[in-house]
Structure 1
Amino acid sequence: MTSPSGDGRRLLMKGLEAMGEAAIRAGCRYFFGYPITPQSELPEYMARRLPEVGGVFLQAESEVAAINMVYGAAGAGGRVMTSSSSPGISLKQEGISYIAGAELPCVIVNMMRGGPGLGGIHPSQADYFQATRGGGHGDYRLIVLAPASVQELADSMVDAFELAERYRIPVMVVGDGLLGQMMEPVVLPPERPVEPPHRPWATTGARGRPPNVINSFCLDPAELEAHNLRLQQKHRAIEQAEQRAVVEDPDGRSRLFLVAYGTAARIARAAMRTARRAGIPVGLVRPVTLWPFPRSTFDGLMDRALGFLTVELSLGQMVEDVRLAVEGRRPVLFYGRTGGMLPEPEEIAVRLESMWQQLAAPTATASQTRG
């Protein structure tokens, strides 16, 4: 197989394959996973491409085995990733907690599907709590990236590896089957150095230095508390430095704001355009990092926002973080579909019209009274 061009040309690629090629160009040389719909095209792509660049692909016997192989490769200093979909990510949670506790960099892709349980294979965002609250046991966090196009799926892989190594933390990239299966033009990132940066903490042999020991096991409560407090200090540094969001405000005069990520953001954008044609001044806030959640973006909108409508492919999860960011300063409403159902832009536009009537009317009345 010939690798796709990296000369800056736009190529038509499927989302999952663009992720795989971008990961390889970002220096990934180890992939351990297990097939599950709707993400199986990603390990399939890596199985073909990694041997061509001297890398290692291994289909493990289970998701549990795969994440522990990631643990081992990361501890040895390898640039490593895995991918799965919702039930598979659930099975990986113990290993993810171990990796976070050991402060090892790796990348985890979750192409979400409907649940709970085995659920269905259609698009969902019902893993938001699992991704942003750690998911496994203990006090820890993951950096969570939420791309919304095939180009962003590719770009997110470069960002994910860089962030994982900068902070020695697992990074999760979340999407769904719709994003993963769609084809869009994409410009692939340039090739990165194959060898990762020097990692003095890795278990690469102890010739000329004391041996490194990597684990997440600590029987002394005082030592374990100190370790957790140090992790929290790192988490605070990430919160200060890595909040990311895109605000779409075509004329700079929006008074209502949709809040959505990933596939839901694409639908919300269409709803924004529909509402604007009806004369409702609507913008869109699209979180790019789900953790750290971009709270500062909401602070910057308080001078003109009348309210926020959170749109999700779930029954309401990110809306809790939106309400925490807004801190009661403005109304935060919710609209969601679940089970793999996608909202129509017109449904969201109707809700926006209702919000506008409720929130703008008191403002207009107050202005008339003052006049």
Structure 2
Amino acid sequence: MAEMMKGNVAIAEAAVRAGVRFYAGYPITPSSEIMEYLSWRLSEVGGSFVQAESELAGINMVFGASSCGVRAMTASSGPGISLKQEGISALSDEELPALVINMVRYGNGLGTLFSSQCDYHRETHGGGHGDYRCIVLSPSSIQEAVDLIPTAYELGEKYRVVVVLMSEGALGQMMEPVELPEFLEPKKNYWGFDGKYSYKKIGIFDRDSMKEAVELNKKYAEIKEKEQRWESEGLEDADYVFVAYGLPGRSTLGAVRSLRDQGYKVGLIRPITTWPFPENAFREVNPKVKAMITVEANATGQLVDDVALYTKKILKSDIPVYALPFVYGVPPMKEIQNKFRQILADEIKEVY
């Protein structure tokens, strides 16, 4: 039975039900309710909670828990996630899974408290130093976020990678009806330290990096082949295809349906995995499509780079690719429609 829940609270409870038994982190708006909820909830199920002295300490505690085979997670936003990058790179190097939740807020440096999508490049193209990739999941509703939590651990443990749930501050603060999943029995993953077995030694001079690179490329190629997720609508006859994820993807879907009612042939691709990017969705697009249009909650346009890449790669087309960056917040349906008409009137120029 569905109940009204705040996004951050629903995500935290879904993590408990998915078998998470360790959380470490440092509070930051707009993700702090996840931490607050788990500070008392984990003790009820025999788990452990630590408010670390810093984000750096928190991610390294998650490293320790994951190395012991425990389902572990942390959450933050903007500058907090930046501080965790070294630990995420180290987790990736050791092939240890963990869930990192980023409730994105707008701005450089300390930024602001506005809900945004300005972390797209960082989350989908690395983040820290090195040659690693994280699977990145981007829900458009609280229910979808809840449903993706167990999926995140299944994927992380299958491929031995860090999984990022990249949402927006607004989703964490809003309330919607949610059906929570059943409880999963916590398990200790086979690689966990038990005093007898060590899965790998951390080292710089005693490793075969060429061999590791081959194995990494094979793993990432398999993820790209098998784990793309998206929602699409109206692609088969669309003259114009919108691409948007998260909450902007949700309002863009409404705009697309309204424009269709007005006689415009438009469609939508809503990535659910922002990495691996759902390039296979582009194979569903009308080969005579006239343009691709991204709708984004950032200032510069970031998603547009990947859309242009896969328009060229999959559609093998030089059609224009536009970006509609709304800086922060959730773009209103009417404003998306108005911007679309500006594109038709050649009042907005393409990015590619």
TM-score > 0.5 by shorter chain: yes
Residue 333 of structure 1 corresponds to which residue in structure 2?
322
Output the CA distance in 2 between the equivalents of 1:43 and 1:215. Answer: 32
Residue 366 of structure 1 corresponds to which residue in structure 2?
none
> TM-score if structure 2 supplies the norm length?
0.92
Residue 307 of structure 1 corresponds to which residue in structure 2?
291
Residue 125 of structure 1 corresponds to which residue in structure 2?
117
- Paired amino acid for 2:32: S
Kindly state the Cα deviation for residue 289 of structure 1 after the two structures are TM-superposed. Answer: 0.3
Match 1:188 to one of 180, 188, 191: 180
Kindly state the Cα deviation for residue 274 of structure 1 after the two structures are TM-superposed. Answer: 3.3
Aligned length: 341
Identity of aligned residues (%): 44
Conserved 8 A contact 1:112-1:125: yes
1:136 aligns with 2:124: no
3-state DSSP of counterpart to 1:166 = helix
More moved, 122-131 vs 297-306 = 297-306
Match 1:162 to one of 154, 159, 167: 154
3-state DSSP of counterpart to 2:281 = helix
Residue 321 of structure 1 corresponds to which residue in structure 2?
306
Output the CA distance in 2 between the equivalents of 1:81 and 1:215. Answer: 23
Residue 76 of structure 1 corresponds to which residue in structure 2?
68
3-state DSSP of counterpart to 1:43 = helix
Residue 198 of structure 2 corresponds to which residue in structure 1?
212
More moved, 104-113 vs 270-279 = 270-279
Match 2:332 to one of 344, 349, 365: 344
Residue 281 of structure 2 corresponds to which residue in structure 1?
297
Kindly state the Cα deviation for residue 116 of structure 1 after the two structures are TM-superposed. Answer: 0.7
Q: Which runs of 5+ in 1 are unaligned?
A: 1-8, 359-371
Kindly state the Cα deviation for residue 213 of structure 1 after the two structures are TM-superposed. Answer: 4.8
Residue 350 of structure 2 corresponds to which residue in structure 1?
none
Residue 269 of structure 2 corresponds to which residue in structure 1?
285
3-state DSSP of counterpart to 2:177 = strand
- Paired amino acid for 1:105: P
More moved, 237-246 vs 329-338 = 329-338
Residue 276 of structure 1 corresponds to which residue in structure 2?
260
Residue 217 of structure 2 corresponds to which residue in structure 1?
232
- Cα offsets for 1:304-350 (capped at 9, x unmatched): 53221101111211111111111151322110022x35433222212
Distance 1:254 1:64, change over 3 A: same
Conserved 8 A contact 1:124-1:176: yes
Output the CA distance in 2 between the equivalents of 1:216 and 1:237. Answer: 25
Q: Which structure is larger by alpha-carbon Rg, 1 or 2?
A: 1
Residues 46-57 of structure 1: matches in 2 within 5 Å?
46-57=38-49
Output the CA distance in 2 between the equivalents of 1:256 and 1:22. Answer: 37
Residue 97 of structure 2 corresponds to which residue in structure 1?
105
- Cα offsets for 1:200-241 (capped at 9, x unmatched): x321221xxxx3154543225x71222122112110110000
Kindly state the Cα deviation for residue 195 of structure 1 after the two structures are TM-superposed. Answer: 1.7
3-state DSSP of counterpart to 2:309 = helix
Distance 1:215 1:123, change over 3 A: farther
Conserved 8 A contact 2:2-2:179: yes
